[in-house]
Structure 1
Amino acid sequence: MIAIPSLTHSLFLFFIGYVGYHQDFTIANFTRDVNDYNRAILTATEKKQFSLKDKITKQRLFDLLQKSELYKNPELRITDIALMLGTNRTYISRIVNEEMQTNFCDWVNSFRVEYVKRIMKNPEFNSLSMLQIAEMSGFSSLSAFYRVFKAKEGIAPGEYRGEK
């Protein structure tokens, strides 16, 4: 009777020793695991920093176009904006495409359309022709102005002006 518990206990101790002996736990494995963990933390930190940089640049993009009114320039290119912000055109394009869900031309044209709407609401500018308004707001041609305005607002600029 006493032999059964001691035999069970002996087998249990033997099993623990056997598993411990065959476990692959070396200093090289430990070092590799620590390095993998550190790399994972570093990658997560870099992603946070990259996201913060995107937000800062997105805000700088808005400020640059709104405050400087760069959208009034009909020759405005994405490379011009990139040079002003000290980055490359691919980075600016990625921010506009991914963050703002549009392309650069449509994004700039939305600023232009908002400016046109402000002009049309202001009685001081009632004497201006559509061509003058288009040129003031940065559109390269009257047809481009009509096409973009109608696409963004759903009505022609003349109709919009008549409603206001």
Structure 2
Amino acid sequence: MIKTIALLSPVYATLFWGVTLLIQRRPANQSRFVLGIFMLFACMLYVSHTVFFLEFYHTYSFFESIYLYAGLSVYPLFYTYILLLSTIRFNTRRHLLHFLPGILFGVVALILTSLLTPDQRIYYVKHILINENLKNIDTTTLTGVKALVFLISRIIFILQTVIYLIFGIRIANQHNKTINNFFSETEGKRMNWVRDISILVLGVSLAAISFALLGRSYFVQHDLLLLLPSAFFTVFFFILGHKGNLQQPIYERLYENDEELSYQEDAPPEENNLKERLLVLFEENKIYRLNDLRIHTISESLHTNRTYISRLINEEFQMNFNEFVNQYRIKEAKELLSTRASTKYTMEYIAEQAGFGSVASFSRVFKEIEGVTPGKYRLMHNKD
């Protein structure tokens, strides 16, 4: 009973989210679709685990090709999911190379299994995988060659966990930097959550490596120990599916095309004049009060492209677009909070007047800049 629960829990979690993410009738969402595929591949992985630990050794010898294919594809799929959520341009053809190891090892494992006799297949699983735990591999035999293929695939899997995790963190950081240079309101657009997911992935990776070093034979002999990795992976996949279901990707094209940039580079605007017009736009016209202000709106108002505006703000003011806009919004909010009538204003009203899209966004930015919440700031001012 314990073994069955431990084996089937991650299967149910991944199958549930895989089906849920793929059948939803929403506008085309590539990232959610890829996450659904990722969940189904993880499900195949744990179905193979189930067949192994239920001691269907002959059946598992064929399932091992699925196990290798799915195992070497889950991290590339997770990496693809992060890429599709980010603002980085996606090259589909080149990216397909990431899935070659899974296909190659899956096909080779299937061919080798087909060449083995039924007795050799059972011997491979019971003796080489369980009793020997891939030690003393004899490559002069067909079962030894199959064991070597399995061992190499495990090494590649370990490398994948580290490489794709590092790449995922770098992509998240680059995405956040880009978002801060294009949007004044970043709630729901930034990928800070990837940091939390990456920590979970790191935990999964370390756990997977540890389990690989211990060998599955260790868990065959201790049914209760199956509950630990089962609970860990079940919780991880459920959280990932939940976050992925809520996450909204950015569809807006954030970069000018090459022809526009080339034309603008040939005739750059006067920097001083552009800076003066930018300050007029913020200090006199108070354009920052638009709660969904984007750098595209600024560039249209000043008749230039976003690249110049972003570069100007970065170089002249030593901040990104998001920080530049928020300094004006916080200044406006502080003036409202400092008036004698401030106690009559709700936080929703102050946030709206200052240009924030929500009270949550207003409170977060205010505390980041001033070190206190808007409510505490108002209380301190009234006491003074």
* TM value normalised by structure 1: 0.66
2:357 paired residue number? 140
Q: Which of 59, 74, 78 is the equivalent residue of 2:276? A: 59
- Check 1:83–1:113 CA distance in 2 against 1; reply closer, same or farther (3 A cut): same
1:131 paired residue number? 348
2:106 paired residue number? none
Give the residue type in structure 1 aligned to 2:271. Answer: D
User: What is the count of residue pairs matched by the alignment?
Assistant: 115
C-alpha displacement of 1:143: 0.9
Higher-Rg member (1/2) = 1
C-alpha displacement of 1:125: 3.4
Q: Does 1:99 align with 2:291?
A: no
For 1:59 and 1:152, the matched residues in 2 are separated by 25
Give the residue type in structure 2 aligned to 1:75. Answer: D
The residue matched to 1:126 in structure 2 has which SS? helix
For 1:124 and 1:160, the matched residues in 2 are separated by 14
1:36 paired residue number? none
Unpaired segments ≥5 residues, structure 2: 1-266
Q: Percent identity?
A: 40
Give the residue type in structure 2 aligned to 1:100. Answer: F
C-alpha displacement of 1:51: 10
Give the residue type in structure 2 aligned to 1:155. Answer: V
After superposition, the C-alpha distances for 1:54-89 in whole angstroms (9 at most, x for unaligned) are 122112111101111111111111011111111111
- In the TM superposition, 1:69-84 aligns within 5 A as 69-84=286-301
Q: Which of 100, 107, 114 is the equivalent residue of 2:331? A: 114
> Does the 8 Å CA contact 2:289/2:354 hold for their aligned counterparts?
yes
1:160 paired residue number? 377
The residue matched to 2:270 in structure 1 has which SS? helix
C-alpha displacement of 1:161: 0.4
Unpaired segments ≥5 residues, structure 1: 1-49
For 1:58 and 1:124, the matched residues in 2 are separated by 35
For 2:290 and 2:308, the matched residues in 1 are separated by 21
Give the residue type in structure 1 aligned to 2:373. Answer: A
For 1:68 and 1:86, the matched residues in 2 are separated by 16
C-alpha displacement of 1:52: 9.2
* TM value normalised by structure 2: 0.29
Give the residue type in structure 2 aligned to 1:56. Answer: N
2:241 paired residue number? none
